[in-house]
Amino acid sequence: MTTASTINSVDTAVVQDVNSPKYKRRWWTLSILSLSLVLIGMDNTILNVAIPTLQREFSATSSTLQWMVDSYILVFAGLLLTMGGLGDRFGRARMLRLGLLVFSLAAFVVVFAESSGQVIIGRAVMGVGGAMIMPSTLSIIIDVFKGPERARAISIWAATAGIGVGLGPLIGGALLEQFYWGSVFLVNVPIAVIALIAGFWLVPESRDPEAKPIDFVGAALSTAAVALLIYAIIEAPSEGWVAPLTLAGFAGSAVLAIAFSWWEMRIKHPLLNFQLFRRLRFSTGAGAISLAFFALMGMVFAFTQYLQFVRGYTALEAGIRLLPLAAGIAIGARGGERLNRKFGTKVVVGSGMILLAGTLSLILVYDTTTPLWLLEVSIFLTALAMGTMMAPSTEAVMGAVPPEHAGVGSAMNDVTRQVGGAFGVAIIGSVLTSIYSSRVSSAVDAVAGLPTAAADSAKDSVGAAMRVAETLPPQVGEPLAEAARNAFTDAFGLAVLVGVGLALTGAALVFKFMPAREQVFDDVPREPAPETDSRAATEVPMTGGT
């Protein structure tokens, strides 16, 4: 195809888009997709401010609390690639509507849960709905928006995701101030219904015209591998890091991961096309997103407990103090798009990860009386760093995937977020629990006559320690509470160092391997290159399906 004919084809495609209802309604479409995305982002964090309430309601252990958060993220992440492929095959708008329905119904049922186990199961079903919704939003954007508008739409998409993450604690806190804990789930229902009804008119249908069979075996193997690994990490503090059950979990996860890799490289239409990772913008962009969400979600999980258990804020007060999270991500996402045009993806993403590592390091100076302004500044700068790198990283990932595979590309982008977030909660939460238990043990043992069950509970989590302290005489209970607050604060700072180290590692990899700029796929077919054409690894053709 000559240059002139290519330009003519592109011009024709653009003219057809301009005259189509899909093009004319594109910004309305984006508004519905953004509303759906706010729902997903909000549910990633709304439960965090309810952790003290849930702990009191169900007498939950630290590992149970982690499962309440991670069951949603885990199922979400495990099914994203499968749901992205199903959307490519059967229709992305259809998958979005089905996801909103499943999500809202599951949220409504969880409101009536009577045990922590029921909450965990309900959250897992909500994860199924979330896995249908999120890849559909980005793949529809790729279908509807063309040219320079696509980068702007993706930046809005990234900012919206961040706004949802930041608003979750505020909305959750406000609801808990007035209603019982189930309200943090019930709030999802009207939002989902509005998006569902409006989406029938404003979200156009699209699909891959040559969709391939879905790799259900690969989906089962990948989900099982991640689930088993997270199970081992979450249970390790209570079972022991070298206990047989923990080691068996790590070993089983490794075996399943190897089996998944072997299966994916063997079948004709894999769930995850490993050739994508030979495109450096794809692999480095996905890696950067994953490491950043690892640090962010782990930090938020611990920070909400710090605000409520250590500083004594109510759920609403904690939510208000997390508002800089939403503002930072939204401002960073819009600024990241502009910086990306000027300096290139490598500089923006790499610098964003360095800023993320630096702001997370401020947690090391936290104590039980840290000035509020320092808390607010550090959370804002952390969110700003996240937002700055989100849009360029997402554009790098989606630019490496042909438009007809937008569903799987979007799902892969989302998988990196959710898996990174799940591991962040699991690993940072487990390291925090281990350090906390070690540091508070001496204080608990010093409380003479404390029953074994109460002592074990106080060593398990700061929330449990505060409840035990309330039952003791002031001359005994207050020293125990103060020791628990200090132990948690120290553990928080040390645990987040895991995220700091990974953010710095990610920055180094981005600066070394990510191309500064790269041509994205055209929205028109291109003639295949001759077999003798020698192209860089970042231009490897897609050979697998969904």
Residues 224 and 335 in one domain: no
C-alpha atoms less than 13 angstroms from C-alpha of 363 in its C-beta half-sphere: 31
Cβ–Cβ < 8 Å for 467, 459: no
% of residues, the chain, pLDDT over 70: 84
* Rama region for 142: left / alpha / beta (φ>0; ψ in -120 to 50; rest): alpha
> pLDDT by residue (tens digit) across 279-288?
777 888 888 8
Q: How far apart are CA 287 and CA 284, in angstroms?
A: 5
Residues 474 and 354 in one domain: yes
Does residue 415 lie within any of the structural domains?
Answer: yes
pLDDT at 255 over 90: yes
> pLDDT by residue (tens digit) across 179-194?
878 888 888 888 888 8
What is residue 447's predicted lDDT score, i.e. its pLDDT? 65
Continuous H helices in 179-279: 183-186, 188-202, 216-239, 244-266
pLDDT at 206 over 60: yes
> pLDDT by residue (tens digit) across 311-361?
888 878 888 888 888 788 878 877 877 787 788 788 888 888 899 899 888
Last residue of a domain, one of 224, 246, 270: 270
Residue 225 host element (H or E): helix 216-239
> pLDDT by residue (tens digit) across 403-415?
656 656 666 777 7
Residues 84 and 225 in one domain: no
Query: What 3-state DSSP class applies to 42?
Result: helix
Cβ–Cβ < 8 Å for 346, 398: no
Residues 494 and 443 in one domain: yes
The two three-digit tokens of residue 542, written as one number: 């897609």
Q: How many CB atoms lie within 10 A of CB 289?
A: 28
Cβ–Cβ < 8 Å for 96, 137: yes
Q: How many CB atoms lie within 10 A of CB 111?
A: 16
Burial class (CB in 10 A: 0-12, 13-18, 19+), 75: buried
Last residue of a domain, one of 229, 244, 270: 270
Look at residues 258, 288, 283 and name the one whose alpha carbon lies nearest to residue 273.
283
Beta strands in 328-376, from DSSP E residues, in sequence order: none
Owning domain of residue 262: 215-270
Cβ–Cβ < 8 Å for 216, 264: no
What is residue 102's predicted lDDT score, i.e. its pLDDT? 92
Cβ–Cβ < 8 Å for 535, 529: yes
Last residue of a domain, one of 252, 270, 288: 270
What is residue 14's predicted lDDT score, i.e. its pLDDT? 43
First to last CA, the chain: 28
Residues 179 and 197 in one domain: yes
Classify residue 146 by its DSSP letter: -
Query: What 3-state DSSP class applies to 271?
Result: coil
Does residue 13 lie within any of the structural domains?
Answer: no
Residue 239's identity, in one-letter code, is E
The domain that contains 462 carries what CATH number?
1.20.1250.20
For residue 385, CA distances in Å to 390, 502, 541 come to: 9, 15, 33
The two three-digit tokens of residue 199, written as one number: 């989406």
Does residue 515 lie within any of the structural domains?
Answer: yes
Q: How far apart are CA 119 and CA 110, in angstroms?
A: 6
Does residue 533 lie within any of the structural domains?
Answer: no
Residues 380 and 241 in one domain: no
Burial class (CB in 10 A: 0-12, 13-18, 19+), 295: buried
Domains identified in the chain, total number: 2
Worst-scoring range by mean pLDDT, 48-62, 302-316, 337-351, 381-395? 48-62
pLDDT at 448 over 60: no
Look at residues 148, 157, 191, 155 and name the one whose alpha carbon lies nearest to residue 46.
191
Residues 364 and 244 in one domain: no
Does residue 536 lie within any of the structural domains?
Answer: no
What is residue 318's predicted lDDT score, i.e. its pLDDT? 83
Classify residue 307 by its DSSP letter: I
Residues 400 and 512 in one domain: yes
The two three-digit tokens of residue 387, written as one number: 């937002």
pLDDT at 239 over 60: yes
Q: How far apart are CA 167 and CA 322, in angstroms?
A: 8
Residues 382 and 417 in one domain: yes
pLDDT at 534 over 70: no
What is residue 155's predicted lDDT score, i.e. its pLDDT? 74
For residue 476, CA distances in Å to 84, 113, 203, 472, 480 come to: 56, 36, 61, 6, 7
Cβ–Cβ < 8 Å for 87, 407: yes
Residues 262 and 285 in one domain: no
pLDDT at 2 over 70: no
Look at residues 482, 468, 477, 473 and name the one whose alpha carbon lies nearest to residue 439.
482
The two three-digit tokens of residue 505, written as one number: 């590692």
Residues 320 and 459 in one domain: yes
Backbone angles phi, psi at 229, to 5 degrees: -65, -45
Residue 247's identity, in one-letter code, is L
What is residue 406's predicted lDDT score, i.e. its pLDDT? 60
Cβ–Cβ < 8 Å for 119, 47: no
Residues 508 and 420 in one domain: yes
What is residue 485's predicted lDDT score, i.e. its pLDDT? 87
Continuous H helices in 91-182: 92-110, 116-144, 148-178
